[in-house]
């Protein structure tokens, strides 16, 4: 056997986003997550005979805003279609969706092209009462129609993604972008953001795409990354063993890491799409589109650029802050609390480097005990050299643990930096005395030896001394 | 006295009540009694609560019969289908709500072809309706129950719905006035959908003035129906004196091959009457009208196949009692719930929309429809109205065409092109035929059957259409029907 062929994974994503409108897509029912089942319904969203859909204007505006944020062009006239299939969670026996003319198309976000973004209505929720958890073989199925008719935007990317990690990072940016627009809660646990991935692999250098499989309903970014990587590994193993990849729909079980087939191509539906005769085309005026464009907030990509260029934050930290919706919002709150003239770069480093290390990258810092004002004050204390880096880390430990005011913690724990006080000079004297070898070395030009002296001082002062200050005093004393 | 009540048209009844000559409850009880004793299977239910509209409304409590296709809050509504057995809508259709608000009282729900699919009213799950002119014959369909109720005098007037001729054809076969408004003039909200891009509600009445009165109260843009537009001006009582300066176009060449001789004879006489009233008859091309039936029998079933998908036994109506799983429940519920014509059209429509066939069928039919719309637009640049017979034949015998769906579909030959074009059209009595359909009959002839004339107008020209129809009606010696025979 020669060396195994090198494969390039090719991944496209389909993302469903529930819009946070006041009411449903085609009726006046209120939207609310977790309400008592079947309390948010009416004859229209229950599909009663004779009822007709009326499009939600707010949803159309939200869809346009989403498209503009993704660099899409907005169709001057887009159509609704009926997508026909039978299922108890689909009251009318068809879903109103868009087909050949979506409202948004041909966009791009951070190197991933957007094929289209279209509007549709969400299905209701089947709850299977029985052992299998699936409708076939379930003892009983009950339906909660509260979710039925929630406005959705489905975003379909071109196959421009090449790894699980890239998919995860890009989805984080997409999520932050949508969150910033304010058109959706984009909460994966509540299902307001759902993602499917189309995955294929091809020999490196080959242009045409391999046979793809579809990975369904992954409900966290971590599982998306793992699921995609597992599927890439599965396809690679198949091809290396001389077998073929079949077109099928798969489910990734995060607890076992296994992939199970939901249905194959032969079972694929014929949805019999046709133009929805109950609705007229969506024809937003160019004035409306301009108005929405003008009111778009600063989006994460622009924000990352601003952090990097204006605040002098490193590219990586900027992206981390800007692409992570909660982290970015927290960072902005700390900036605001710090006020003008603050050291923004230092704030960025402390939030990303120190706070995240303590609470985890997936946590929402706004839910931690560290108030943005406290974080701002702590970083400012460091800047003023009122506490040393080491002391500030101790303060942050306390803040994460039980919150509070940094000044009070510094006071209570005796963590105030010693500055150039006589006390520090005395401790330096003691350190030089205790490390004659280091003194010799420094005198003969090896300044690295100062480490031992600083270490001694830090130990004596429990980290309250500033390393730079200690060096200064040593140099003075030794005449270096 | 009761003969006097029977002679009042709806508009006359409104005046009589307002003048204090008749009380609303007297009129209501009179019609409710007659509807309860109906011999033509016109009704699926007759109001049992005697709910008379509060006094003071513009319609003064005058009773009306409602086709079973319209949802009425608290009243079982089945579209004459078993699958909706037990379905009691929690809401009023807009047409019913508007009539209610205008002060109409409701007598009952009228029989119809199941889900409005049919031209003879033999497709009702609850038995065929018989024609009051001759109970061995059909009343037409799908609004056959409404037409029979008005013709038999068990209701002064009734609502109908028209997808390919379902108001106009039964009106013609029962000697009545039937108006299909411009698509979009009347809200479809609460009207159980057959073919959404074609369905329109309209009046079935004894005369043109009543048709105008009902249209006045049911038209209008409705926030619940995105395709509704309403009429650009108020509907006024027709008052024209003549047809001077108006051009009436006859599609040429018109295929008279499948048309009964007597229908042609009555049509020719109608043209003479139009000329006598000052109108001018012209010929005009409608080159694609001959393709209309084929296109219609793709588009309407396609839309119906999706519209009827919600009848699945899950949330309302009848659910089959099965032990198996979901698929078996769907199949048995729908297999038992739908009648043969409905199944036929669901299959036709499903096929026409299937992957691989869409372009050849549905796509092609939509192109034909566009051509027909253009034909009508061009035609109305050279004439004010288009006239044809309403139906190729007089009322046919019960069972005569039930084994031959294609023959049945041809009943819509003259009405379907107008539905596809979306323009308004009225059918009104034009003459009588002898009972064997061989010759024109004089009024009063034993066993005579009515023949209708169809007049179509441009989009939203309902007032003009009603005016012309009103003049024609006055020139036609035909103010007679079963309701005056004193049965
Ligand atoms: Zn609703």
How many of the other CB atoms lie within 10 Å of CB of A14? Answer: 16
DSSP of A71-90: TPEEPSSB--EEEE---TT-
Chain A residues within an 8 Å CB radius of B197:
277
Nearest to A86 by CA among B333, B337, B317: B333
Contacts of A367 (CB under 8 A, 6+ apart): none
Cα(A124) to centroid(ligand 1), Å:
11
Summarised one tens digit per residue, pLDDT across range B408-429 is: 898 999 999 999 999 999 999 9
Q: Do A274 and B70 touch (CB under 8 A)?
A: no
Residues 426-485 of B with CB under 8 A from A: none
Beta strands in A204-247 (DSSP E): 213-218
Angle between helices A300-310 and A164-181 (to 10 degrees): 100
Would the pLDDT of B483 be above 90? no
Residue to substitute from A28, A48, A49, interface B, most B β-carbons within 10 A: A49
Question: What is the C-alpha to C-alpha distance for residues A477 and A462, in angstroms, rounded to an integer?
Answer: 22
More confident residue, A174 or A386: A174
Q: How far apart, in Å, are the Cα atoms of A402 and each of A204, A356, A376, A377?
A: 53, 16, 17, 16
Rg (CA), chain B: 21
Sign of CA dihedral B219, B222, B226, B232: positive
Cα distance between residue A417 and residue A381, in whole Å: 10
Closest CA to B146 of B250, B60, B68: B68
Contact at CB, B188 and A52, closer than 8 angstroms = yes
Question: In this predicted structure, what is the pLDDT of residue A146?
Answer: 96
- B381: Cβ contacts below 8 Å, ≥ 6 apart: none
The span from the CA of A316 to the CA of B84, in Å, is: 63
| Poorest-pLDDT segment among A444-448, B169-173, B224-228 | A444-448
Task: Characterize the bridge pairing of strands B105-110 and B63-67.
Answer: parallel
Structure tokens that stand for A281 in this block: 């085309």
Residue (of B183, B116, B274) closest to A278 by Cα position:
B183
Q: Which residues of A touch B200 (CB under 8 A)?
A: none
pLDDT at position A80: 98
Q: Residue B415's Cα: distance from chain center in Å?
A: 11
Inspect the interface and report whether the beta carbons of A93 and B306 lie closer than 8 Å: yes
Residue B114 touches chain A, beta carbons under 8 Å? no
DSSP B219: B
% pLDDT > 90, chain A: 66
Ligand 1 centroid distance, CA of B422 (Å): 30
Answer yes or no: B435 catalytic: no
Catalytic residue among B42, B93, B142, B143: B142
- Using one digit for the tens of pLDDT, what is the confidence trace for B74-124? 999 999 999 999 999 999 999 999 999 999 999 999 999 999 999 999 999
A100 near B CB under 8 A: no
B317 backbone dihedrals φ, ψ, rounded to 5°: 75, -160
The mean per-residue pLDDT over the stretch A157-175 comes to: 96
**Of A329, A325, A335, A321, nearest in space to A375 by CA:** A335
For A270, the closest of B93, B224, B355 (CB atoms) is B355
Catalytic residue status for B187 = no
HEC profile of B49-109: CCCCCCCCCCCCCCEEEEECCECECCECCCCCCHHHCCCCCCCCCHHHHHHHHCCCEEEEE
pLDDT of B52 higher than 50: yes
Q: What's the rounded Cα separation, in Å, for the pair A438 and B151? A: 119
Chain B residue numbers with beta carbons less than 8 Å from the beta carbon of A91 are 310, 314-315
Strand partners, A15: A155, A195
Question: Is the CB of B326 less than 8 angstroms away from the CB of A141?
Answer: yes
The pair phi, psi for residue B442, each rounded to 5°, is -80, 150
Q: Which of B114, B83, B73, B319 is nearest to A88 (CA)?
A: B319
- All structural domains of chain B: 2-287+371-484 (3.90.1300.10)
- The pLDDT-based confidence of B487 (bands split at 50, 70, 90) is very low
Q: Does B223 touch chain A (CB under 8 A)?
A: yes
Query: How far apart, in Å, do the first and last CA atoms of chain A sit?
Result: 67
φ/ψ of A225, rounded to 5, equals -60, -50
Contact A23, A31 (CB under 8 A): yes
Beta bridge partners of A81: A97, A275
Query: What is the Cα–Cα distance from B36 to B33, expressed in whole angstroms?
Result: 5
Tell me which chain A residue has its CA closest to the CA of residue B73: A43
Residue B181 has pLDDT above 80, yes or no: yes
Distance CA A160, CA A167 (A): 10
Q: What is the mean pLDDT of residues A52-69?
A: 98
Domain boundaries, chain A: 3-293, 300-413, 422-478
A-B Cβ pairs (cutoff 8 Å, strict): 107
Segment B294-342, tens digit of pLDDT: 999 999 999 999 999 999 999 999 999 888 888 999 999 999 999 999 9
- Per-residue pLDDT band for A132 (boundaries 50, 70, 90) equals low
Tell me, what DSSP letter sits at residue B405? H
At A37, list the tokens. Answer: 């089942």
User: Which residues from B are below 8 Å from A84, CB to CB?
Assistant: 305-306, 309, 353
Kindly give the distance from the C-alpha atom of residue A145 to the centroid of ligand 1, in angstroms, as a whole number: 9
Q: Which residue is it, tokens 């016109």? A: B42
Burial (CB < 10 A; 0-12, 13-18, 19+), residue A332, is middle
Closest CA in chain B for residue A49: B192
Rounded to the nearest integer, the mean pLDDT of chain B is: 95
Hey, what are A69's tokens? Answer: 């944020």
pLDDT at B164 over 70: yes
What is the mean pLDDT of the segment spanning B157-177?
98
CB atoms within 10 A of CB A56: 24
| Contact (Cβ atoms closer than 8 angstroms) between residue B248 and residue B270 | no
Per CB-CB distance under 8 Å, the chain B contacts of A93 are 306, 308-310, 312
φ, ψ (nearest 5 deg) of residue B226: -65, -20
Chain B, residues 191-220, CB within 8 A of chain A, namely 191-193, 195-197
Q: How far is the CA of A54 from the centre of ligand 1 (A)?
A: 11
CATH dotted code for A422-478: 1.10.10.410
In SS3 terms, A379-419 reads as: HHHHHCCCCCHHHHHHHHHHHHHHCCCHHHHHHHHCCCCCC
Which residues have a Cβ under 8 Å from the Cβ of A4 and sit 6 or more positions away?
A240
For the four alpha carbons of A350, A354, A355 and A357, in that order, the dihedral sign comes to: positive
Average pLDDT, chain A: 91
Residue range B339-363, pLDDT digits in tens: 999 999 999 999 999 999 999 999 9
Q: Name the active-site residue from B9, B42, B45, B67.
A: B67
Contacts of A337 (CB under 8 A, 6+ apart): A372, A373, A375, A376, A377
Place of tokens 């199925």: A141
Q: Does B359 touch chain A if contact means CB atoms closer than 8 Å?
A: no
A23 touches chain B (CB under 8 A): no
Calculate helix-pair angle for A422-434, A436-443, nearest 10 degrees: 90
| Residue indicated by tokens 């050299």 | A385
The predicted structure's pLDDT at residue A268 = 67
B413 three-class SS: coil
Spatial distance between the Cα atoms of A389 and A376, rounded to a whole number of angstroms: 14
Q: How far is the CA of A347 from the centre of ligand 1 (A)?
A: 48
For tokens 């897509």, what's the residue?
Answer: A25
Closest Cα in chain B, distance from residue A326 (Å): 40
pLDDT-based confidence at B216, cuts 50/70/90? very high
How distant is the Cα of A56 from the closest Cα of chain B, in angstroms? 11
Q: Tens of pLDDT along B434-471?
A: 988 889 998 888 899 999 999 999 999 999 999 999 99
Q: What is the mean pLDDT of residues A461-467?
A: 79
Using a CB–CB cutoff of 8 Å, tell me whether A267 touches chain B.
Answer: no
Identify whether the C-beta of residue A155 lies closer than 8 Å to the C-beta of residue A15: yes
Residue A2, pLDDT score: 47
- Ligand 1 centroid vs B300 CA: distance in angstroms? 27
Per-residue confidence (pLDDT) for residue B300, from 0 to 100: 98
Give residue A44 CA to ligand 1 midpoint distance, Å.
5
Give the pLDDT confidence score for residue A3 in this predicted structure: 57
């Amino acid at each position: 056997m020669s060396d195994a062929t090198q494969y390039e994974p090719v991944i496209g994503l389909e993302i469903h986003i529930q819009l946070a409108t006041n009411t449903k897509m085609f009726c006046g029912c209120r939207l609310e997550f977790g309400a008592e089942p079947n309390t948010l319904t009416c004859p229209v969203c229950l599909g009663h005979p004779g009822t007709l859909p009326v499009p939600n204007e707010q949803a159309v505006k939200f869809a346009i805003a989403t498209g503009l944020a993704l660099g899409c062009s907005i169709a001057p006239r887009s159509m609704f279609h009926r997508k026909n299939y039978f299922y108890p969670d689909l009251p009318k026996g068809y879903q109103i969706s868009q087909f050949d003319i979506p409202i948004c198309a041909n966009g791009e976000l951070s190197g991933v092209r957007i094929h289209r973004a279209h509007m549709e209505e969400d299905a209701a929720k089947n709850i299977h009462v029985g052992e299998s958890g699936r409708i076939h073989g379930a003892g009983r199925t009950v339906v909660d129609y509260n979710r039925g008719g929630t406005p959705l935007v489905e975003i379909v990317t071109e196959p421009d993604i090449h790894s699980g990690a890239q998919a995860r990072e890009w989805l984080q940016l997409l999520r932050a972008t949508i969150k910033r627009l304010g058109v959706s809660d984009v909460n994966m646990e509540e299902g307001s953001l759902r993602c499917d991935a189309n995955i294929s692999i091809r020999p490196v250098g080959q242009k045409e795409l391999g046979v793809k499989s579809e990975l369904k309903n992954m409900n966290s970014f971590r599982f998306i990354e793992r699921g995609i990587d597992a599927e890439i590994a599965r396809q690679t193993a198949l091809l290396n063993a001389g077998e073929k990849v079949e077109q099928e729909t798969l489910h990734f079980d995060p607890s076992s890491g296994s992939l199970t087939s939901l249905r194959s191509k032969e079972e694929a539906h014929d949805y019999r799409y046709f133009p929805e005769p109950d609705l007229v085309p969506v024809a937003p005026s160019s004035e409306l589109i301009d108005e929405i464009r003008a009111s778009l907030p600063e989006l994460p990509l622009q924000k990352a650029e601003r952090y990097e260029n204006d605040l002098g934050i490193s590219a990586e930290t900027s992206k981390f802050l800007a692409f992570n919706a909660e982290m970015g919002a927290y960072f902005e709150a700390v900036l605001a609390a710090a006020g003008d003239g603050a050291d923004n770069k230092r704030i960025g480093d402390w939030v990303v480097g120190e706070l995240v290390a303590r609470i985890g990258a997936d946590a929402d810092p706004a839910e931690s005990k560290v108030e943005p004002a406290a974080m701002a004050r702590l970083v400012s204390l460091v800047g003023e050299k009122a506490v040393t880096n080491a002391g500030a880390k101790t303060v942050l430990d306390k803040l994460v643990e039980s919150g509070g005011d940094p000044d009070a913690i510094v006071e209570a724990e005796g963590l105030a930096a010693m500055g150039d006080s006589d006390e520090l000079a005395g401790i330096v004297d003691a350190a030089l005395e205790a490390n004659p070898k280091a003194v010799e070395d420094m005198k003969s030009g090896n300044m690295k030896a100062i480490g031992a002296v600083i270490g001694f001082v830090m130990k004596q002062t429990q980290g309250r001394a500033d390393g730079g200050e200690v060096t200064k005093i040593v140099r003075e004393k030794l005449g270096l | 006295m009761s003969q006097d009540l029977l002679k009042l048209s709806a508009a006359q009844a409104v005046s009589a009540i307002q003048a204090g000559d008749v009380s609303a409850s007297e009129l209501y009880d009179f019609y409710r009694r007659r509807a309860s004793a109906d011999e033509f299977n016109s009704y699926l239910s007759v109001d049992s609560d005697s709910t008379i509209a509060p006094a003071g409304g513009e319609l003064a409590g005058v009773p009306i019969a409602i086709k079973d296709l319209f949802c009425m809050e608290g009243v079982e509504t089945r579209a004459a289908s078993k699958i909706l057995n037990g379905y009691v809508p929690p809401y009023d259709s807009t047409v019913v709500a508007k009539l209610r608000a205008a002060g109409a009282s409701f007598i009952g729900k009228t029989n119809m072809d199941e889900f409005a699919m049919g031209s003879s009213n033999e497709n009702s799950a609850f038995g065929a309706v018989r024609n009051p002119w001759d109970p061995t014959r059909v009343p037409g369909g799908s609004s056959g129950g409404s037409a029979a109720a008005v013709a038999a005098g068990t209701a002064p007037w009734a609502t109908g719905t028209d997808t390919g001729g379902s108001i106009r054809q039964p009106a013609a076969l029962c000697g009545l006035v039937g108006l299909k408004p411009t698509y979009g003039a009347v809200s479809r909200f609460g009207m159980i959908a057959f073919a959404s891009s074609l369905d329109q509600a309209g009046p079935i009445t004894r005369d043109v003035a009543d048709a105008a009165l009902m249209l006045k109260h049911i038209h209008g843009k409705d926030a619940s129906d995105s395709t509704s537009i309403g009429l650009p001006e108020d509907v006024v009582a027709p008052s024209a004196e003549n047809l001077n300066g108006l051009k009436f176009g006859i599609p040429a060449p018109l295929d008279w091959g499948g048309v009964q001789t007597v229908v042609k004879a009555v049509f020719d006489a109608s043209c003479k009457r139009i000329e006598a009233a000052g109108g001018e008859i012209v010929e005009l091309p409608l080159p694609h009208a001959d393709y209309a039936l084929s296109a219609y029998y793709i588009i309407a079933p396609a839309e119906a196949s999706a519209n009827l998908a919600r009848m699945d036994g899950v949330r309302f109506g009848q659910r089959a009692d099965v032990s198996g799983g979901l698929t078996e429940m769907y199949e048995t519920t729908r297999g038992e719930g739908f009648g043969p014509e409905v199944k036929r059209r669901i299959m036709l429509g499903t096929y026409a929309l299937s992957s691989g066939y869409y372009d050849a069928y549905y796509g092609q039919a939509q192109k034909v429809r566009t051509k027909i719309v253009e034909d009508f637009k061009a035609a109305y640049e050279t004439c004010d109205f288009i006239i044809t017979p309403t139906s190729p034949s007089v009322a046919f015998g019960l069972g005569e065409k039930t084994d031959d769906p294609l023959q049945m579909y041809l009943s819509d030959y003259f009405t379907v092109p107008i539905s596809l074009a979306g323009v308004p059209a009225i059918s009104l009595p034009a003459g009588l035929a002898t009972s064997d359909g061989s010759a024109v009959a004089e009024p009063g002839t034993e066993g005579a059957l009515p023949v209708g004339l169809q007049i179509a107008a441009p989009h939203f020209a309902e007032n003009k259409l009603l005016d012309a129809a009103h003049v024609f009606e006055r020139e036609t010696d035909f103010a007679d029907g079963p309701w005056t025979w004193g049965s």
